[in-house]
């Protein structure tokens, strides 16, 4: 092959020496850059670390635990949906005719497998469980702090499984061997689990709490799980299982030994105004802390009740009138809305417009008293039941002489008092569900948006949520295990 123009002219000869230098340089450059490119391509993220070293000491584990607590703030967990659901699908709360369409389908008991709130409960609960699992399963050696953190993670995991099994499975009493939710205790992204039985899920929760309680040694603020908070959750679990004596002894243990005191009557309004966790052992055993930086914002429960916010959810008129004029809890309502007029507004969460909005109180001593009363009643000890009930009522309605009913009337009084004390905390529906009782919405409001069923019978398939379509789509093993009706 003859090449054209390849003859060097004389005057280029001097340059030619340099050309070789250049060619050599380029070659060196290429070779050198390839050999050093390994470092060049090794780029670390700025605000993340590799998952396998993320929990390698006590401080890391503490941070990971805070991450697990953090998801509880999600607006589809305790941020809003969980505490709203329990009142909305029952008879305490309704959606105003003037609304942003949020949760209307819950109120109208007309949701499908595509319901975004229903799927988000599932997703976020399991996200929290993963965060807890990673802490529980980490290989850090036992130490005071490590054991404490692990135990808190177990309590968080128990709390999430409890919420899952409540929302997606039939009440324990109806069919303990029925389909619960998948129990996932280790991280395996490729797992496609089937649903475990309801009894297995309850056993898992009980196991986690029992293992957690002895290790929860730190006297922490109400923003974290302590041993008595875990016991309160356990007492609630026994109530759901109708294990009355265990429910009674566990709640008595808390009342007698925790050092916690009921919030007194004169403190109730201020109690609900407080927007930070407390260490004074008054009332709150565990609450999810929301602060100025980390909160659910306009997707929070308080904003949904606040008439300066969405204000879509209102208290049922018929419920409001159940509070006597001397009941301090009546002061937790406003009786008109600038937009919706003469309606009853929930004011239990008054900090919606504060930079630091309301905490959500998951476990309170008042509930433990009510649990003790109910468990005592179901164990046949009506006088003990009345003692616990009246001890609480005295601090809510000082003018009231106290209950002296018996039998079914006493049972009804306990449930009514539970309804009033724990109103807007997402408990009402579950008090009916664990006895498999129908929801009867009587004279709730003249301001209904329409298409609202006034009775939700015990056999209505929508009393439990559908397994989300996204889960059915991604997990073939659960596809045939959808709750009937959906």
Q: Which of residues 31-90 bind other proteins (CB under 8 A)?
A: 32-34, 36-38, 40-43, 45-52, 54-55, 60, 62-64, 66-71, 73
Contact present, 433 and 171 (Cβ < 8 Å): yes
The residue within the footprint of other proteins, chosen from 137, 191, 342, 454 (CB under 8 A), is 191
Number of residues that bind other proteins (CB under 8 A): 115
Q: Which of residues 86-115 bind other proteins (CB under 8 A)?
A: 97-101, 104-105, 108, 110, 112, 114
Contacting residues for 208 by C-beta, under 8 A, at least 6 apart: 154, 155, 157, 158, 161
Cβ atoms within 10 Å, residue 318: 15
Residue 369 main-chain phi, psi, to 5 deg = -60, -45
475 binds other proteins (CB under 8 A): yes
210 binds other proteins (CB under 8 A): no
336 binds other proteins (CB under 8 A): no
190 binds other proteins (CB under 8 A): yes
Distance, CA of 210 to CA of 50 (rounded, Å)? 32
Work out how close the CB of 465 gets to other proteins at its nearest, in angstroms, rounded to a whole number. Answer: 14
Contact present, 434 and 427 (Cβ < 8 Å): no
Q: What is the DSSP letter of 28?
A: H
Work out how close the CB of 310 gets to other proteins at its nearest, in angstroms, rounded to a whole number. Answer: 8
Q: Which of residues 212-231 bind other proteins (CB under 8 A)?
A: 221, 223-224
Site string for other proteins, 367-396 (x = CB under 8 A): ------------------------------
Q: Report the SS3 class of residue 314.
A: strand
Distance, CA of 5 to CA of 29 (rounded, Å)? 28
Contact present, 388 and 417 (Cβ < 8 Å): no
173 binds other proteins (CB under 8 A): no
Q: Which of residues 350-369 bind other proteins (CB under 8 A)?
A: 352-355
Work out how close the CB of 4 gets to other proteins at its nearest, in angstroms, rounded to a whole number. Answer: 4
Work out how close the CB of 56 gets to other proteins at its nearest, in angstroms, rounded to a whole number. Answer: 11
Work out how close the CB of 355 gets to other proteins at its nearest, in angstroms, rounded to a whole number. Answer: 4
Question: Looking at beta carbons only, is 134 or 251 nearer to other proteins?
Answer: 134
Question: Looking at beta carbons only, is 29 or 409 nearer to other proteins?
Answer: 29
Q: Which of residues 296-335 bind other proteins (CB under 8 A)?
A: 298, 308, 310-311
Site string for other proteins, 423-462 (x = CB under 8 A): --------------------------xxx-----------
Q: What is the DSSP letter of 63?
A: H
Q: Report the SS3 class of residue 315.
A: strand
* Choices 125-133, 267-275, 318-326, 374-382 (CB under 8 A): range interacting with other proteins: 125-133
Question: Looking at beta carbons only, is 4 or 380 nearer to other proteins?
Answer: 4
Six-digit token string for 469: 């379509």
The strand pairing partners of 172, in sequence order, are none
The strand pairing partners of 226, in sequence order, are none
Contact present, 115 and 123 (Cβ < 8 Å): no
Residue recorded with tokens 């229903």? 118
> Burial of 278 by CB count in 10 Å (0-12 exposed, 13-18 middle, 19+ buried)?
middle
Cβ atoms within 10 Å, residue 267: 15
Cβ atoms within 10 Å, residue 127: 17
CA Rg value for the chain: 29
Distance, CA of 403 to CA of 393 (rounded, Å)? 9
Question: Looking at beta carbons only, is 87 or 471 nearer to other proteins?
Answer: 471
Question: Looking at beta carbons only, is 381 or 470 nearer to other proteins?
Answer: 470
* Choices 118-126, 199-207, 229-237, 375-383 (CB under 8 A): range interacting with other proteins: 118-126
b/e per residue, 406-433, with b = 16+ CB within 10 A?
eeeebbebbbebbbbbbbbbbbbbbbbb
Work out how close the CB of 328 gets to other proteins at its nearest, in angstroms, rounded to a whole number. Answer: 24
Question: Looking at beta carbons only, is 45 or 259 nearer to other proteins?
Answer: 45
Site string for other proteins, 255-294 (x = CB under 8 A): ----------------------x-----------x-xxxx
Residue recorded with tokens 């391509």? 41
Work out how close the CB of 278 gets to other proteins at its nearest, in angstroms, rounded to a whole number. Answer: 12
């Amino acid at each position: 092959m003859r090449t054209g123009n390849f003859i060097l002219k004389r005057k280029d000869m001097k340059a030619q020496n340099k050309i070789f230098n250049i060619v050599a340089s380029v070659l060196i450059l290429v070779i050198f850059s390839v050999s050093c490119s390994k470092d060049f391509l090794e780029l670390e993220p700025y605000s993340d670390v590799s998952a396998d070293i993320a929990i390698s000491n006590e401080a890391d584990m503490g941070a990971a635990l805070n991450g697990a607590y953090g998801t509880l703030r999600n607006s589809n967990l305790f941020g809003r949906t969980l505490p709203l659901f329990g009142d909305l699908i029952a008879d305490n709360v309704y959606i105003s005719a003037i609304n942003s369409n949020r949760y209307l389908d819950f109120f109208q008991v007309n949701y499908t497998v595509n319901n975004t709130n229903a799927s988000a409960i599932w997703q976020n609960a399991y996200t929290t469980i993963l965060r807890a699992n990673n802490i529980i399963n980490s290989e850090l050696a036992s130490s005071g702090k490590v054991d404490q953190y692990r135990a808190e993670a177990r309590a968080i995991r128990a709390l999430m499984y409890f919420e899952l099994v409540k929302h997606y499975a039939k009440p324990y009493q109806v069919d303990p061997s029925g389909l619960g939710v998948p129990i996932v205790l280790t991280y395996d992204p490729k797992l496609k689990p089937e649903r475990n039985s309801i009894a297995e899920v309850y056993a898992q929760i009980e196991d986690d709490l029992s293992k957690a309680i002895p290790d929860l040694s730190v006297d922490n603020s109400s923003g974290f799980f302590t041993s008595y908070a875990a016991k309160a959750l356990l007492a609630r679990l026994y109530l759901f299982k109708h294990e009355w004596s265990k429910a009674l002894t566990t709640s008595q243990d808390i009342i007698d030994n925790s050092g916690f005191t009921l919030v007194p009557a004169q403190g109730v309004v201020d109690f609900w105004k407080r927007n930070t966790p407390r260490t004074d052992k008054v009332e709150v055993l565990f609450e999810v802390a929301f602060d100025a930086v980390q909160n659910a914002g306009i997707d929070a429960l308080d904003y949904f009740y606040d008439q300066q916010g969405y204000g879509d959810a209102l208290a049922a008129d018929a419920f409001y009138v159940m509070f006597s004029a001397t009941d301090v809890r009546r002061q937790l309502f406003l009786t008109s809305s600038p937009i919706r007029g003469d309606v009853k507004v929930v004011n239990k969460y008054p900090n919606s417009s504060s930079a630091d909005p309301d905490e959500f109180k998951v476990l309170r001593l008042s509930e433990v008293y009510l649990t003790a009363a109910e468990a005592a009643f179901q164990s046949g000890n009506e006088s003990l039941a009345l003692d616990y009930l009246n001890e609480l009522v005295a601090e809510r309605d000082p003018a009231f002489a106290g209950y002296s009913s018996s039998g079914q009337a006493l049972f009804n009084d306990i449930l009514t008092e539970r309804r009033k004390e724990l109103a807007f905390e997402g408990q009402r529906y579950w008090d009916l569900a664990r006895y498999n009782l129908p929801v009867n919405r009587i004279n709730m409001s003249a301001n209904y948006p329409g298409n609202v069923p006034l009775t939700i019978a015990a056999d209505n398939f929508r009393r439990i949520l559908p397994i989300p379509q996204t889960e059915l789509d991604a997990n073939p093993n659960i596809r045939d295990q959808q709750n009937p009706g959906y």
